[in-house]
Structure 1
């Protein structure tokens, strides 16, 4: 975990991009239990988004829903601009994304493109709009949910993994660009997360729960970390895998 100097306080206001994400909602619950009082849940209008908002309201937060579509970048300026016009945002959590279906997406390239557009190009647009707004207000954290899968392409999920690799590189560069402006960018790299999005899939080694990711996010915020691995051992594991010769890597059951 690489950290910038100086601790930070937990946010009083939170913007969630991907308001129905199980991981994002676990983070929101944890932060509401600590200090957060205002939450914007941004996502496509749906019963699931309204249910998520009602759940967080029951925990004592003032929760508002915001229409947001990752696949419609032309709307991002307007949609997110309305949020920042309502008041300062202490933390924005970029949590939207899709896993896709590797075997099916290889046969149907348009589905693979949708994975890439959601996880990468949609995130680039929303990330830049959000970062500029945080910079204009002079403070705030942008937390980006990346994935350990982006560290090295695997046969089993290289479409998803490549989209997360792009997102991860973008977020790291954005963090460097914003260094010294008062805006903190933190990249979170979980391994396999047991959640609704992965229901029916066989769990991989070092699997974690959304709550464990939320705990790591809180600790990272307190330390003002720039990179967070969940679980922490994945940092070592992925480093070893990344440096394996390709001929060896191909033989692994990954």
Structure 2
């Protein structure tokens, strides 16, 4: 069960090699979290991530999980929940893709959409039902400010995150009053492996800063978290820029 501050004792990460997810796990382990499941494709990186968290004193297990295989999600995640209550599920998998290449090769664009949206819909629904059955828990979904308004430079990734964001908000409304808390996290540009080599956007942040924002959101039981917080105002303004003007912006 969660402690008096709303922080989880047990954590399931979907996307077990995500730098943001691992930074969040490290932060929560220093607070109260003791049991962690890292779900992802089996790889040396997944095992290294598990060892790093074990070194902090947590009981960490790895779970073979593939976002692109939704037919396996019920069985895979069901086994985790069968081992005991899970206080928090962090849905953290996703890929950025390569906009120019993906426009030329639609199969790659479809893979971005299937990973970031349809895979997340499947895993999110399975997790939400399990949390509802146990009567408590948080589902934290890593979205992105890229989903707020599609930009020419990354509209494939942005549209997949827009779908994910809308899905998570609707799921949160559907679960209101059930004991299950859904929180959508919208980071801006995060300095990580995924963005290595890209031009840094204004208000860039770090996995550790996102982790701190996740903890703060859990404590106050927030439904939406922006990282950094100033992006809430920036994106509100961006949403209302006339389309003719928006097309001429260097975004």
- Using the size of structure 1 for normalisation, the TM-score is 0.97
Given that residues 8 and 224 in structure 1 are in contact (C-alpha distance below 8 angstroms), is that contact kept between their aligned partners in structure 2?
no
Task: Kindly report the root-mean-square deviation, in angstroms, between the aligned alpha carbons of the 2 structures.
Answer: 0.7
After TM superposition, where is structure 1 displaced by more than 6 Å over at least 4 residues in a row?
none
Structure with the bigger RCO (C-alpha within 8 Å, sep 6+) is: 1
Return the alpha-carbon distance in structure 1 between the equivalents of residues 5 and 176 of structure 2.
15
Task: Report the counterpart of residue 34 of structure 1 in structure 2.
Answer: 31
Task: Please tell me whether residue 111 in structure 1 is matched to residue 108 in structure 2.
Answer: yes
The Cα offsets for residues 25-72 of structure 1, whole Å up to 9 and x where unpaired, read as 000000001110000000000000000000000000000000000000
Superposition pairs of residues 145-184 of structure 1, within 5 angstroms: 145-184=142-181
How does the TM-score come out when normalised to structure 2? 0.98
Distance in 2, matches of 1:8 and 1:235, equals 25
Cα offset for 1:8? Answer: 4.7
What is the total number of aligned residue pairs between the two structures? Answer: 248
What is the rounded CA distance, in whole Å, between the counterparts of 1:253 and 1:23 in structure 2?
27
2:117 match: 120
SS of residue paired to 1:131? helix
In structure 1, runs of 5+ residues without a counterpart are: 1-6
Structure 2 CA distance for aligned equivalents of residues 153 and 40 of structure 1? 34
Q: CA separation in 1, counterparts of 2:133 and 2:5?
A: 19
Gaps of 5+ in 2: none
Q: Aligned residue for 2:54?
A: 57
| Corresponding position of 2:12 | 15
Match of 1:4 in 2: none
Matched, 1:246 2:220: no
Tell me the CA shift for residue 197 of structure 1.
Answer: 1.2
